[in-house]
A = this chain, B = another copy of it.
Amino acid sequence: MASSKHGRKKQNDRKTAKAARLDVVEQMTAHQNSTSKALSLPPGAVDLGAIDTRGTPIGPQDKHEAARAMAEIAPELAALQEKLVAEAIRGGRRRILLILQGMDTSGKDGVVKHVLGLVNPAGVHLASFKKPTAEELRHDFLWRIAGQVPQAGQIGVFNRSQYEDVLVVRVHDLVPRQEWSGRYARINAFERKQVREGTVIVKCFLHISKDTQRERLAARLDDPTKYWKYNPADLTERGFWPHYQDAYADALRRCNTVGAPWFVVPADRKWYRNWAIASLLLETLRQLDPQYPPADFDVDTERQRLAES
């Protein structure tokens, strides 16, 4: 151990730094699951119009605070993710499925980039569900979904999901009402099955205002480096805004189960949206509390074998 004056000084500095870190950790632990609580769907009827799309009900109140908070979240998120992966290597069954839903421009892609970009890509399974292909349409609506659920140890991410089949499908009557109306129960059953197999499901509705969507679409038309993100069909869908809000309200209400709850993420501000989902993910991982598995071999035997090799 360092014994010179200089060494003690450094040691004290380290102690102070460590204490400061512990303070932060304790503070965070005290608030454990507080983001989940603050952003959970209010009980009863779902009135999306009553939930502020620019709200900051918990956590950072401005961009700078959010950047600081993200810098704190990142290492813990990565460390917990590694443990989740490690656990699965030795037979652990647990995994996470993050479902991202929201109107066009609500920031689903941004969350993938800025939040999932914080963890090891080797432990992430990302699936984007676009307009179904001819082959997908020949199967039940859950067929393509079932093929993309995360493996043990993974953080699965659905950019759009099974919910499209009670959203765009319902708004445009792509199947008869009788058919889509039965899907809420089928989705709940499907999700229950995933939960039984070891998946923690975190469903996020990225909640933006119609004005914010206008601004973001305008930005795509004003900047040639964003043309590729623009699709004239998005504007057509914008015309169905109230129908989509109704469809979302129903999907959220009817599929807000204990095992697979919905969160409403105010998403007019990108920094809040990213922080909120990173925080939901962190709380989920903390609650899972994954553990490095013990050796499934005799350590001393292996040390000896290695020494002889």
Contact = CB atoms under 8 A, between A and B. Distances in A.
Interface in A66-101: 86-87, 89-90
Contacts of A221: 299, 302-303, 306
Q: Quick one: copies of this chain in the complex?
A: 2
Interface in A103-122: 109, 112-113, 116-117, 120-122
Contacts of A126: 121-122
A242 interface: no
A217 interface: yes
A230 interface: yes
Nearest to A241: B309
Given A238-B309, A292-B228, A295-B227, A218 B122 contact: no
A235 interface: yes
Interface residues of A, number: 41
Contacts of A116: 121
A305 B89 CA distance: 53
A237 to B, nearest CB: 10
Contacts of A235: 302, 305-306, 309
Interface of A: 86-87, 89-90, 109, 112-113, 116-117, 120-122, 124, 126, 128, 159, 214, 217-218, 221, 224-225, 227-230, 232, 235, 238-239, 292-295, 297, 299, 302-303, 305-306, 309
